[in-house]
Structure 1
Amino acid sequence: MMRLFLVRHGESEWNAQRLLQGQADVGLSSRGRDQALALSATVQRFQPERVLVSDLARTRETAELLGYAEHEPVSALREINVGRWTGQNIDDLMAEDAQAFQGWRSGIYTPPGGESWQSFKQRTNGVVAELRSGALERVLMVAHGGVIRALLESLLGLSPGRVVPVSPASLTVLRVGPLNGSAEARLEAFNYRPDALAFDAPD
């Protein structure tokens, strides 16, 4: 069995402004850096054997602040591409078409020029499938809220519409069996932060 330690990056500059990022390469805010540092001791106790990181700046900086300057950038762990919605204010999108935005959050609507949920789910799950074919026991992934929600659906059948936004610099833990084994994936922790729970995290 393998444990996946999934960490969302700390708050970014655009998160702080409630701007939808997608694959825009935005760095962490000062608050985001503090959040990542606060989680570092928790993550280090698990002693991951591999550290995979989305190749965007906010995740790589988070990994470094967690104590893993040596990590493997993986482009397949990038956030979902939101097309023309990139850089748009979430409140404005909701005001313009709440049904479309909620449909996107539920995985049933693709913004103009964006990536479909099914395609996104397939590319992110491909990273986990490769890991499950090996013999690793502890893997840390520093990625994005959408990536974590996609893996929760791929591995546990939890649809994105039933999962609250993943908190910045929070830890989610999944226990998964080998790719051809019979053991089902299990959720061991979700949205853990050492400081406080957050129920209104930005997408």
Structure 2
Amino acid sequence: MRLILMRHGETTWNAEARLQGQDNSDLSERGVEQARRFGAFVRALKPARVVSSDLGRTRQTVALIGHGDCPSDARLREWHMGSWTGRTKPELIAAHADLYHAWRAGTYTPEGGEPWGAFRDRVAGGLRHWLAAGEGDLLAVVHGGVIRAALDVFLQLPPARVIPVTPGTGTILSFAPDQFAQAQLEGYNIGAVVPDLSVAD
């Protein structure tokens, strides 16, 4: 069984390098086009089931790829960024470079935010639930942080070692039948020309 993790298309806040967390902004024109283009990958991969985060940017993305009627799950929401929500990556690095990099590594939690371990466990519970809930490949339309958490859970790749995925791309994990503890990586950042290291979650 495969788990296909798609990051939603670029949003207006992504384009501004602004941290969204569990707040929301609409897809940008570029993000709409990214989602539409990824639809060709979805049709080729033919997932048996589709689920998404319940946040607006993922629901907008699933509609654009032809699965707007799929279920959503709050456990697949982005990492809650607390007091850093709405701030830009350049602003945070200029003011708190050490804390920003520690947060990226999962070792620092902004005020009011979600600790990495709690976020990781939330995502793991959601993804394992949907993997076990039916047969065939599963497409989950989620967020950059959720994909990093999945790589930590299923590949033991901590967030400090993962380059952020580009909006509108896919990551594929392969599981042995009924074995959802560990996976093999089939593909990462599929659909992108180059990784976009400047894009904020």
Q: Normalization by structure 2: what TM-score?
A: 0.94
* CA distance in 2: counterparts of 1:24 and 1:94, whole angstroms: 21
Aligned pairs, number: 200
How far off its partner does 1:136 sit?
1.6
Whether the 8 Å contact between 1:167 and 1:201 is mirrored in structure 2 is no
Give 1:38-117 correspondences, 5 Å limit. Answer: 38-117=37-116
| Unpaired runs of at least 5, structure 2 | none
Whether the 8 Å contact between 2:128 and 2:180 is mirrored in structure 1 is no
Q: What does the per-residue CA deviation read over 1:128-147, in whole Å, with 9 as the maximum and x for residues that have no partner? A: 22234345221000000000
Give 1:156-175 correspondences, 5 Å limit. Answer: 156-175=155-174
Whether the 8 Å contact between 1:5 and 1:141 is mirrored in structure 2 is yes
Match among 180, 183, 186 for residue 185 of structure 1 = 183
Which 4+ stretches in 1 moved above 4 angstroms?
A: none
Counterpart in 2 of 1:152?
Answer: 151
Whether the 8 Å contact between 2:169 and 2:189 is mirrored in structure 1 is yes
* CA distance in 2: counterparts of 1:131 and 1:114, whole angstroms: 26
Aligned partner of 2:91: which letter?
Answer: D
How far off its partner does 1:45 sit?
1.6
Q: What does the per-residue CA deviation read over 1:123-180, in whole Å, with 9 as the maximum and x for residues that have no partner? A: 100012223434522100000000000000000000100000111000100012355x
Counterpart in 2 of 1:16?
Answer: 15
Whether the 8 Å contact between 1:172 and 1:190 is mirrored in structure 2 is yes
| Unpaired runs of at least 5, structure 1 | none
How far off its partner does 1:197 sit?
2.1
Aligned partner of 1:59: which letter?
Answer: T
Whether the 8 Å contact between 1:9 and 1:144 is mirrored in structure 2 is yes
Counterpart in 1 of 2:119?
Answer: 120
Identity of aligned residues (%): 42
Q: CA RMSD in A?
A: 1.6
